[in-house]
Structure 1
């Protein structure tokens, strides 16, 4: 039996983080280190540690060794990743906290075994690495990167183009290495070359031994070994971004790769992923800064980064902590050419987004009911984010109630501070929460969060939320008919290649037309549809910033946009006159044909090619094109990508160019092809 009760919560910044920490605390897990990304404004990392000491939290937060003394003294808007205990995170999650943390996102528990807090702190300046003129550094952040594939090696098979490889979940005690890191193990080019030489005989590489010694595949070490599978996401993506036949770009296209921990890539909600992403960008920027031209050592080599992950959640207006972090790290600076490619996301048909416009209170249409379906056997918590519009007075805009499957309806939660309802079982176990929290600048909008515990548990079958349809009712109090309430389901399904863990929840309203008259999935919202559940506006929350080039995917043989490729528009940020983007900047090939899904790129083993699809394979092709442009001294930013799509698109008629929010400038010609032409 379930029942709701009213609670008066602390004035927190992130209700979802508070719910996650509570679930872990009651699970009996002993205190461990969490990764977290912080937003600091005019506060140095040294000041943060001092504030923690003054608040009685000394020793509850650790700064990774990648941050030099110079980094720790810097006072500006910054987004550092830290390792912290739940005590620090709970204190930092209180609005106007004495620690000086403006916003934060909680990552995941980081096993003690992969941490090395004794790793030496990096100096402010690292030795230069000289490369030929016309060189470009390509960096890939992903998982399961089999970096010894021949597409990443030179003419000499014992020499690698990979300049640095950081395996964030490797055993740090396996080797001291020349690149000290606080988490996992990082390899420099000379170490990689030595491993290649030691494990190559008669021109053939013993890949099993190589990856075991590198720390990438060690079955005595916890975690999923995706690079041991035939198909690995990171290898495929890096092949598209920077893979080349040995001897073609041996010295002019060095590679930096960062393998994210497998436990964070299993959780595709993004919350666990983001601190590792932020730390990866610090590593890449510092290492890329070392590359200089032989003819002009004072000039830095351009950098192109590909990050082929997406998410559903966030404000979708460019003000989220991840979007702001990426915009800041890749902002234009003199003598520093840095570009970033991101996928548009694969959530077009996920039924993860609803746009709600309500009639005035008391009129017909002043209330909307969303049917949120929680699947059974879901081992992860599920969340819905209900974002308010930008208004001068954010109080009492709407009231929201939730009726769980087989349970009672909650009392209303309104957009006023301290409004919360808690769902518990007859054993006093909290399995759901409805919570309002105003999100600080630069977002400046209210957020009502619906949280649900996993629908299955191996440890305590009573400590679960009911599966089935949860009814979320949103009733107007003070909104005008033109104000939009934007609602997103957070992503949490398990990615292919990983053990089944999460199952994706979604909106299941009857008004949503899934198929056309012939039974094919509808890729766009039907004309004239009034259903609140929309395909429009499903662009990845990561991809709403101003700087990155964002890529949709299309089918090469037909020219049609892939049915899964997410679309804009996005929300206009508070105080802005227009949104940061209308949708993707362009589209690249993500499927060879309607039948032969995906495109070919590097498999996990030498000599192998495998097919993967999704906008994750569109983005690295654009990254490759951007690198080629920068090598020639031309612009390689999102504007150039948009122009490339616009120039190439006329070659794909018919069908006609898709709508702007789905395709941006247009469809780009095929950038790279490995193996046979499967569309021929």
Structure 2
């Protein structure tokens, strides 16, 4: 076998999207994509806002689109309401100060009008910040001439003391654990983002379906079973081709996590739940290519709902849980999804002039032993790693190489030379990647592997990225050609006179729990990377100085600086055993700007089946799940209690400190000094819930019976 390499210009500014475009099996003639845009110029934003409003109302961008089309741009009613609100405010006698986040909006555009010549084809009044991949099978809801924004019942506004937001899949909104003592639902609003089904019942969102509290209340009264409710609203639908129906299974990830964060029992009074259920296509694509645009819109929607709940008085506190993770990225807080999420949380606090108003809780990741991270010190010698790609893997495999060069290098070209050799090849040609181009490899047909290069600047710092992409090893509906499986060789040589540090990360491509198998996680390997562990007898003990690393394995969207603020909280997982060690899988710091997670919670309990008990999909059931995603919602509940106590203090209670730094003095926490790179500053120990008993091990020994005489 021989790979034939060819250099060609990129068709998309983002390498992930460029590879998706090149390897499509069945190109959609004119698909739609979600776009996060930035109004420009900010100094005269009002004119640009007028143009955006006119384009959305008319359905096309004047002098940019072809008016003969039915429509080429769409925006949800909540976004349109926000747009009109800013226009009205800037038209007033005292226009408010605005910043970049204020002037960001989410729209939908046909792919034809987004790109041109490998760059964004933007009109003069906005620039594209982030574009998602084409949404296959998207069916828009009808267009409302006048936007219909979200509103809540006055009684619900008065009762809400704190809001808990969750972004996940499989959220069983009819479950009894999400009702109060009167059996009335605590869910204020929910957005079912499933895209292949339009909803004639709700035109306020562009796609999917929105469920408000009064509708959920009516469904609970009229329906005989939870299953009928989910079928009625389209949350389970076996009549159409869908990757998975999580609410038809015994275990659903979102239900389990929401029970830990806001389920019935202690501390749930006055809590309103704001939920967004991601579409199955976003969850099963663990590389993050599909997920990002849905998640950003979900956070935007939850914050809009939280502000609507605040109309009767001062803004309510909001704690959000997003228990997803990625393996590859810059790991310095600059990955776009991570930076955008942190910026949105920080902006809500700034806008309401309250640093303790909004928090986002995220898991540290479960990749400690996945062999997905390595570090190479590149000098004159060629450094080589093995990249093992499994057979029968229907997901694209990616590796990101981040270079800390310490030198500028040649403009437009990588400072290193790279070889990417398939298992059956003797050698491949040396390649020096260039900006704006792809080196793609073929075996007679379409591309099966590609190499990209990009220089990314944030302020004065510059980092260089090399992205490697290899097609699935089994045919699927998304890809034209399959790649050979096996042990690929990845070799790097420094072309400069200065030492270069290369951080190598394999992107996540496994299959989420419960979903039909799609991807199989590829991993890095090296002949001398491991030793025999004398305690366990296996060969997972790392050798010092070898490239494969267990450190620097934090989720790439949970690596921002710990010194800026505690508005984003990263949570690790601990075992509820003697000594409280880290769970075997929980990821570790340090990264470039973060020493490790902020804190941890117990995610493994019991003598046999490890995990944490919480609600199953249907009322009356309890199931066990583990992982840092299970630890995170326990911290959500704790932080929500603190924010609520601070916003509504009792007359005889002292001030309640808020944030991760104060929790070490809390009696339900176990302080760690010095902080652990896998556990953080403390381990949270939740109190038992009457509905679900907590189990610890080893079991307490019973006193021996006295011998009978």
Same structural fold, with TM-score higher than 0.5 when normalized by the shorter chain: yes
2:76 corresponds to: 64
Residue 627 (structure 2) pairs with residue 614 (structure 1): yes
Q: Cα–Cα, structure 1 residues 458 and 190, in superposed 2: closer, same or farther, change >3 Å? A: closer
Residues 552, 662 of structure 1: 8 Å contact kept: yes
Equivalents in 1 of 2:676, 2:533: separation in Å?
Answer: 22
User: Which residue, 260, 270, 277 being the options, matches 1:240?
Assistant: 260
Q: Distance in 2 between matches of 1:353 and 1:637?
A: 40
Match of 1:569 among 590, 608, 613: 590
SS state at 2:383 partner:
strand
Do the aligned partners of residues 387 and 152 (structure 1) sit closer, same or farther apart at CA in structure 2, a change above 3 Å counting? same
- Contact kept, 8 Å, 1:302 with 1:338, in 2: the verdict is yes
Q: What is the match of residue 14 of structure 1?
A: 14
> Which stretch shows the higher mean deviation, 495-504 or 93-102?
93-102
Contact 1:539–1:567 (Cα < 8 Å) also in 2: yes
CA contact (8 A) 1:385 1:448 kept: yes
Q: Distance in 2 between matches of 1:192 and 1:452?
A: 45
Aligned equivalent of 1:166: 191
2:669–2:684 contact (8 Å) kept in structure 1: no
Moved more, 512-521 or 343-352: 512-521
- From 429, 432, 436, the counterpart of 1:414: 432
Instruction: Give the one of 485, 503, 509 matched to 1:492.
Output: 509
The counterpart of 1:369, out of the listed 376, 384, 387, is 384
Q: Secondary structure of 2:229's match? A: helix
Alignment-derived partner of residue 4 in structure 1 = 4
More displaced, 606-615 or 39-48? 39-48
Q: Is the 8 A contact 2:386 2:525 kept in 1?
A: yes
Kept in 2, the 8 Å contact 1:646–1:665? The answer is no
1:346·1:565 contact (CA, 8 Å) conserved in 2? yes
CA distance in structure 2 between the aligned counterparts of 1:105 and 1:671, rounded to whole angstroms: 43
Query: For the residues of structure 2 that align with 1:509 and 1:236, how far apart are their CA atoms?
Result: 38
Do 2:552 and 2:590's aligned partners in 1 also have CA atoms closer than 8 Å? yes
Coordinate RMSD, CA, aligned: 3.3
8 Å contact from structure 2 (residues 10, 18) kept in 1: no
Separation of aligned partners in 2, 1:587 and 1:408: 47
5 Å-filtered alignment, 1:450-529, equals 450-457=468-475, 463-478=481-496, 480-481=498-499, 483-513=500-530, 516-519=533-536, 526=542, 529=544
Distance 1:373 1:118, change over 3 A: same
Structure 1: gaps spanning 5 or more residues: 201-205, 572-578
- 1:147 CA drift (Å): 1.2
Is the CA contact (8 Å cut-off) linking 1:40 and 1:76 kept in structure 2?
no
Aligned pairs (5 A) from 1:206-285: 206-223=225-242, 224-245=244-265, 249-250=268-269, 252-285=270-303
For residue 444 of structure 1, what is the aligned residue in structure 2? 462
**Aligned equivalents of 2:241, 2:658: Cα separation in 1:** 43
SS of alignment partner, residue 450 of structure 1: strand
Query: 1:497 Cα shift?
Result: 0.8
Q: C-alpha displacement at 1:180, in angstroms? A: 1.9
Q: Is the 8 A contact 1:142 1:234 kept in 2?
A: yes
* 2-structure distance, mates of 1:32, 1:625: 43
CA distance, structure 1, for counterparts of residue 473 and residue 605 of structure 2? 38
Residue 452 and residue 40 in structure 1: after superposition, are their counterparts in 2 closer, same or farther (change >3 A)? Answer: farther
Question: Any idea what SS the aligned residue of 2:314 has?
Answer: strand
| Distance of 2:176 and 2:234 partners within structure 1 | 19
CA distance, structure 2, for counterparts of residue 302 and residue 4 of structure 1:
57
1:324 and 1:57, CA in 2 relative to 1: closer, same or farther beyond 3 A? Answer: farther
TM-fit CA distance, 1:568: 1.4
Larger mean CA deviation between 222-231 and 417-426 belongs to 417-426
Q: Which residue of 2 aligns with 1:35?
A: 34
Structure 2 residue runs without a partner (length 5+): 43-47, 88-97, 562-566, 650-654, 700-709
Residues 610-651 of structure 1, C-alpha deviation per residue, up to 9 Å, x if partnerless?
100000011100010000001110799998224425766985
- Is the 8 Å Cα contact of residues 141 and 200 (structure 2) preserved in structure 1? no
Q: Output the CA distance in 2 between the equivalents of 1:212 and 1:270.
A: 28
CA distance in 1, matches of 2:205, 2:518: 30
Q: Deviation of residue 45 (structure 1)?
A: 6.9
- Compared with structure 1, are the counterparts of its residues 487 and 248 closer, same or farther at alpha carbon in structure 2 (3 Å cutoff)? closer
Which residue of the other structure, out of 553, 565, 569, is the alignment partner of 1:549? 569
CA distance in 2, matches of 1:330, 1:339: 7
Q: Quote the offset at 1:199 in angstroms.
A: 1.6
Quick one: distance in 2 between partners of 1:176 and 1:95? Answer: 35
1:633 to 2:654 alignment: no
| Structure 2 CA distance for partners of 1:390 and 1:460, relative to 1, 3 Å | closer
Partner of 1:435: 452
Distance 2:601 2:130 in 1: 34
Structure 2 distance, partners of 1:345, 1:637, is 30
Aligned partner of residue 644 in structure 1, secondary structure: helix
Structure 1 pair 538/89, CA: closer, same or farther in 2 (3 Å)? farther
Moved more, 412-421 or 12-21: 412-421
Question: Which residue in 2 is equivalent to 1:203?
Answer: none
Q: 1:211 and 1:459 mapped to 2: Cα distance?
A: 28
Alpha-carbon distance in 2 for matches of 1:646, 1:534: 33
Which residue matches 1:77? 100
1:155: how far off? 2.4
Alpha-carbon distance in structure 1 between the residues aligned to 2:174 and 2:408: 57
Q: Residue 10 of structure 2 contacts residue 438 of structure 2 at CA under 8 Å; is this kept in 1?
A: no
- Farther off after superposition, 47-56 or 494-503: 47-56
Against the structure 1 CA distance between its residues 657 and 373, is the aligned structure 2 distance closer, same or farther, given a 3 Å change threshold? farther
Pick one of 168, 185, 190 that aligns with 2:214.
190
Normalised by the size of structure 2, how large is the TM-score?
0.83
Cα deviations by residue, 1:555-589 (Å, 9 ceiling, x for unpaired): 11231101111111222xxxxxxx2x322101111
SS at match of 1:670: coil
Residue aligned with 2:385, SS: strand
